[in-house]
Chain A
């Protein structure tokens, strides 16, 4: 580990499979075509705006609100997913019950389902006259057409990310570790909070980051349930579309650039935390 920092542009270990140059070349070319050129085009367009007009577009109240709603709801949804995703993964890994395979398969449905379908279905359920919405309405709780509705939609689309990243790690947890904690006198709560959960932290963070990133970029399912009220429940991706339809390309580009920048920073931070915690206790035992 110590020598890794001093090794540059080389194999970490000599390998029996040659082709480092080829592999890196193909990778970079592919990444450039698919990711870098579109994104740099975006940044190029926004730099042509000039700093002051860029800032005035970004600091526009409607834009700030949309960005806050997008990142805020994605964050809340990712937190909810982290919690329930871990519980769901636990149930799937630890218990055997009839219908387990079906539930296991259902977890992936949000991946496959067209997001618009999910959005419409959720709206129908949570609207004031829907099954769930009509139960909540007398209590004064409104879900659809509010930011809460956005959170519900994002929880739906983000669920598989946490479950699927945590599940394999959980499967690897040796039952002996729990037994060891018990023989040392730890009660169930202590075993879970001090032994099991910390071990799941890196995987949980990966799932959280993926769910969060997906939530920030989600469009299809949200626009149906959000109500899309400017300043209240309008998400940033929708605002970009609106600006495009107004042929206001500079504004669309500016919002997109800010989203790109914020997402990149947040993912970078989460990935660093994760790499740090993984470095500490990877490689078994």
Chain B
């Protein structure tokens, strides 16, 4: 079922946790709410569930206004970060709870409830554990029980609050893949909250990046990573460097020299240049580049990270290189140039933001490498 959030505002006391947030969630979509803690992502999820009521605004489930409905009436599936399983009930009783508490007019016969619960346990790969109690399961297994329990009521929308937050890295990765499979098989509209960008980018059809009670950007993982619309998204998603630059007649200057990048349509003035550590190229002989001394060098998996000091007044930037290219540069001076970058104006207001994926100059240089 499609879910529309319209101009939602939520205040706790006088502190606005969400300020005028609107979001369309398409039917059957797997969507991630991503943001640092305090960004309002969990509040938004709980508002959709009906566990909180909005100060202002409306939430539609399909064409129906759900804002006035109670949690019980909304028929949603909610998976809590710490599972919130009923620990005095067996796994089977946990999963069938949602069906058993229905009024007798809507309650399926006991045999059907049992069959449905067993089917779901098979779906979440827990067949044979239906007689166990939650205390006898591992964290990953508990999370799967929680998911099966939420799906048992045929929810309009499945809401997951940091579903893998309490699990260790290995289990997390497995469950992530597995949740994607489950979603593709069952097709429930699913919203999940996470602060783990890797999780959001890997798992979701679309990612909603939130900060300070507002939505910064909504888009596919590719959009979000390749075309961040704000300094916040640039900084929050993936690694990035930012340096203060000056624009002068279409050239980008760093301190007292041009760095070989052009932003032709931009008016003169100061701006901030963002680029990712891996979107750079090394240059021999600097005729327009960023250059500095390598101050630290770390091997991280398949790449080498170099920290480069561009001058006292600037925080060091980090670049990533294939290890064989980086080994010769230890403690020497390197010259490089971003191949993909974005300029943001200080004012931060949307009109003043200039986005440039690739400048012609760097395009030429890139084909050379």
Contacts and interface: CB of A to CB of B under 8 A. Distances in A.
Interface of A: 174, 176-177, 179-187, 190, 194-195, 198-199, 201, 277, 280-285
Nearest to B77: A183
Contact of B150 (A174, A183, A277, A284): A183
Interface residues of B, number: 31
A194 B101 CA distance: 9
Contacts of B89: 198
Interface in B124-153: 133-135, 137, 142, 149-150, 152-153
B357 interface: no
Nearest to A199: B88
**A-B residue pairs, 3 tightest by C-beta:** A184-B98, A176-B84, A180-B84
Given A284-B135, A285-B135, A186 B84 contact: no
28 contacts: A176-B80, A177-B84, A177-B86, A179-B51, A179-B71, A180-B78, A181-B86, A181-B97, A183-B51, A183-B71, A183-B72, A183-B77, A183-B150, A184-B101, A184-B150, A185-B75, A185-B101, A186-B72, A186-B98, A194-B101, A195-B86, A199-B87, A199-B88, A277-B88, A281-B88, A281-B133, A282-B135, A285-B142
Nearest to A177: B84
Nearest to B102: A185
A179 B80 CA distance: 9
B85 interface: yes
Contacts of B97: 181, 184, 186, 194
- Contact residues of B: prevailing secondary structure: loop
B195 interface: no
Nearest to A183: B78
A185 B84 CA distance: 15
Interface of B: 49, 51, 71-72, 75-78, 80-89, 97-98, 101-102, 133-135, 137, 142, 149-150, 152-153
B88 A198 contact: yes
Given A194-B101, A199-B87, A285-B83, A179 B78 contact: yes
B188 to A, nearest CB: 14
A285 B102 contact: no
Given A176-B82, A280-B133, A183 B76 contact: yes
A197 B37 CA distance: 34
A87 B305 CA distance: 61
| Max count, chain B CB within 10 A of own CB: residue among A179, A183, A198, A285 | A183
B103 to A, nearest CB: 9
B101 A190 contact: yes
A185 B81 CA distance: 19
